[in-house]
Structure 1
Amino acid sequence: MINTINQSKRSDPFSSGEGGERLSLLELNALVRRSLEQCLPDEYWIQAELSDVRSNTTGHCYLEFVQKDPRSNSLIAKARGMIWNTIYRLLKPYFEETTGQPFTSGIKVLVKVTVQFHELYGYSLTVLDIDPAYTLGDMARRRREILLQLEEEGVLTLNKELEMPQLPQRIAVISSATAAGYGDFCHQLQHNPGGFFFYTELFPALMQGNQVEESVLAALDRVNARIDDFDVVVIIRGGGATSDLSGFDTYLLAAACAQFPLPIITGIGHERDDTVLDSVAHTRVKTPTAAAELLIHRVAEVADRLEDLSVRIRQGAYMLLERERRRLDTLQARIPNLVQRKLTEARYALLTARKDLSQATMALLSRQRHRLELLQQRIADASPDKLLSRGYSITLRDGKVVTDASSLKSGDRLVTRFSKGEAQSVVEQSRLIGTDKRNKSH
């Protein structure tokens, strides 16, 4: 470089010799270009982050490489870059197909560049090649960091621990309304071979681009507001490029799905792609059609179990009825003997009862006869005839027994009865014993 500068001095038409060299801006830039070409003639692999990636109508890609301080995240280096059309047409699909990551701002890359300096446009780096393995490593590292953070927070497996409903027939679908995968999913459910009914409701969301995270989170919020209306949530995409999967590798979306109160089934990628969202979802399948098949299979399993239980119930009922029929036949055969025995027992009981009744009646009659005899004796002892036979008499006045002589008056006609016969008399004078009153009658 010193020799180049010296030569420039000797050929400089504006050099005054005494006042120092004088260069035009173009000459200085040309000097810088020649110097860089001589000092940095090779190709170099550099690590950087993409920024401001854009392409124009010519097919060239213009971008900016940046490097950030890992602690403060502030820029510490920056360089303009470009990829010529012929290379960009090959490099972009190769990178995106290999990594599943769009070639866009915000990703870290390992690229082979040459150093260029143009007198008008200045310093730039021209991209010749890219190593997708470096970006894959960075993406894998980011995924591991997100999963580790979710594990430390204790939410990584929460959705996986939810119990899948026995009959997941009410399905909240998060997808794009125009996505081919959504149509395949609904068609598969509606035309299932078992004829099972499924209710699906679409919650539209963007499934590719920079707004995937925000859009899917908003759809989850809408589902959560009607949580009792659904059994499961299905997040599907179909027909999109593998490079669009980066929207499902974010912490916020993963955390929301991991803690969602309904089981989440994902069918957002291909068999070899595994996003953070797939890692936290309850069940991950390859495609929307596979998600539909999973639900159909689940319902079919329950239907088979119900059918098996139905068969077992019918068989059990038949066996029970058959056993009871045989029991009834046995009882029916035993009825005549049983009736005969019961009749014999009843006849014997009646005879015994009749004998007991007869004995009890005779005893009662005997007791009552004896009682009557005693009463009869008492009545006989108390009868007037009995008294009269003993020498007593009864005096009657007007048919009534006279017990008090003072009640008599002179002239009262009396009848006196004896054991044998009676006599009549007239009271002339009555006398109480112990007094001077006397009775005279004739």
Structure 2
Amino acid sequence: MNTLSLFELNNLVREAISVTLTDEYWVEAELSEVREVRGHCYMELIQKELFGNTPVAKASAKCWKTKWQRLCPKFESVTGQSFKAGLKVLLKVYPDFHEAYGFSWIVTDINPEFTMGDMARKRMEIINRLKMEGVFDLQKELTLPLFAQRIAVISSENAAGYGDFCRQLGDNPSGLKFYPRLFSAVMQGEEVEKSIVAALDKINIQADDFDVVVIIRGGGATSDMAGFDTLLLAENVANFPLPIITGIGHDRDESILDMVSHMRVKTPTAAAAFLVDHLERVYERVLDAENEILTGIRHRIEMEKARLQRLGEKVPMLFSLFKDRQEARLDRMLNHVSTAIGVRLERENRRLADLSRRMQPAMARRLLCENHRVDLLAQRAKAADPALLLRRGYSMTTLGGKIVRDATALKAGDEIVTRLEKGSVSSIIK
């Protein structure tokens, strides 16, 4: 039985591949891993099921330093993306099998237009989904408050753009006051989506404390814009209850985040300038309203002065007319009172005369009756005189000046006085 060493077997494989696969091939694949080592690019390629995530093919690929230094900048310039895992790419490759390192595809060219098309397709899918959900234009329907001074800022804390934004607000020529508050977030790389969504959640908890949200990025490569083209981030921004202004890109770059926001500007300083201009316009409206109110007040004062002057001129005439009317009214009332008093006096005099006529017979009758009653009382008093009783043989006994009517009321030692017709007798009870 003939046996081969592993090196001999691998050498046969290398020769077979070099003989049978002599051409270069364009291959479509998804990048599952990308890493640079000493200027060379090492990547893992993958192909998934059409309607799932199960891999149906895998392979390793390499791009040597000399090629990679030319292909990478071109790819990023055209696509606006860094060459990273998750992208679909079209690579020109040829096979390479090394007895010690195994098989890999050697990349000689990259077609960035293919990736651009795939990225555009994904962007369009996200945009269509947002429109289908009815949230794509929700931010546009919000109204920026007139006095938009309380600003929630989502930015990297150390970014130059954040500093420029704050200086632009603070140094405005009108001296208007703004109150920015930073919610720090990662503004480039794979953490963009998660970080900004977390910042929005924090702002939403205290939404009543702010008038507007500003998402700004101070510079950065065009290739870092991919983090702003995600469905989750777009949905969060579209459904946010406060107006959101974005200043994250360059003049020619418009992310999905820019599309769904309330307003998109180029840079952080442009965002600050917009807010300053907005408040200046409001301030001008306030001044105009103030001037209109003052003008209206002055006009009304002049009208009232003129009216008072006209009334003042009419006062003497009106007072004279009023005086004449009141004097005539008082004369009429005096005549009426005098007549009423005369009639009342005449009526009362007649009543008094009538009463006087009727009082004389009544008084005579009353005197006669009273005299008769006095005579009867005198007769009764005379009949009740104690002297008459004493003359008839009766006596009166007193104790301490009071008549004794009950013998049981007396006790031993009491001194009583018995009055007779003639004289009195004192006695002591034993």
Class of the TM-score when normalised by the shorter of the 2 chains: 0.7 to 0.9
Displacement after TM superposition at 1:141 (Å): 1.8
Return closer, same or farther for 1:352/1:118 CA change in 2, 3 Å cut-off: same
Give the match for residue 63 of structure 2.
83
User: Is 1:266 matched with 2:257?
Assistant: no
User: Is 1:374 matched with 2:354?
Assistant: yes
Q: How many residues align?
A: 377
* Within-5 A mapping of 1:9-408: 25-26=6-7, 28-57=9-38, 59-379=39-359
Distance (whole Å) between structure 1 residues aligned to residue 209 and residue 158 of structure 2: 24
Displacement after TM superposition at 1:197 (Å): 0.8
Give the match for residue 427 of structure 2.
none
**When the two structures are superposed, what TM-score results if normalisation uses the length of structure 2?**
0.79
Return closer, same or farther for 1:383/1:164 CA change in 2, 3 Å cut-off: closer
Displacement after TM superposition at 1:135 (Å): 1.2
Return closer, same or farther for 1:408/1:285 CA change in 2, 3 Å cut-off: closer
Return closer, same or farther for 1:177/1:381 CA change in 2, 3 Å cut-off: same
CA offsets, 1:28-65, max 9 Å, x none? 544544444444333322211113211122x1211122
Amino acid at match of 1:373: A
Distance (whole Å) between structure 2 residues aligned to residue 374 and residue 232 of structure 1: 101
**Aligned-CA RMSD value:** 2.8
Return closer, same or farther for 1:128/1:402 CA change in 2, 3 Å cut-off: closer
Amino acid at match of 2:32: S
Distance (whole Å) between structure 2 residues aligned to residue 406 and residue 279 of structure 1: 131
Displacement after TM superposition at 1:126 (Å): 2.2
Flag structure 2 segments of 5+ consecutive residues without an equivalent: 380-430
Return closer, same or farther for 1:406/1:62 CA change in 2, 3 Å cut-off: closer
Displacement after TM superposition at 1:328 (Å): 0.3
Distance (whole Å) between structure 2 residues aligned to residue 347 and residue 189 of structure 1: 76
SS in 2 for 1:126: strand
Distance (whole Å) between structure 2 residues aligned to residue 407 and residue 358 of structure 1: 55
Distance (whole Å) between structure 2 residues aligned to residue 405 and residue 285 of structure 1: 131
Displacement after TM superposition at 1:196 (Å): 1.1
SS in 2 for 1:355: helix
Distance (whole Å) between structure 2 residues aligned to residue 54 and residue 330 of structure 1: 95
Flag structure 1 segments of 5+ consecutive residues without an equivalent: 1-18, 388-394, 410-442
SS in 2 for 1:310: helix
CA offsets, 1:291-337, max 9 Å, x none? 11222122122212211111111011111111111110010000000
Displacement after TM superposition at 1:230 (Å): 1.6
Distance (whole Å) between structure 2 residues aligned to residue 136 and residue 219 of structure 1: 30
Give the match for residue 393 of structure 2.
none
Amino acid at match of 1:187: R
Q: Which stretch of structure 1 is more off in the superposition, 147-156 or 44-53?
A: 147-156
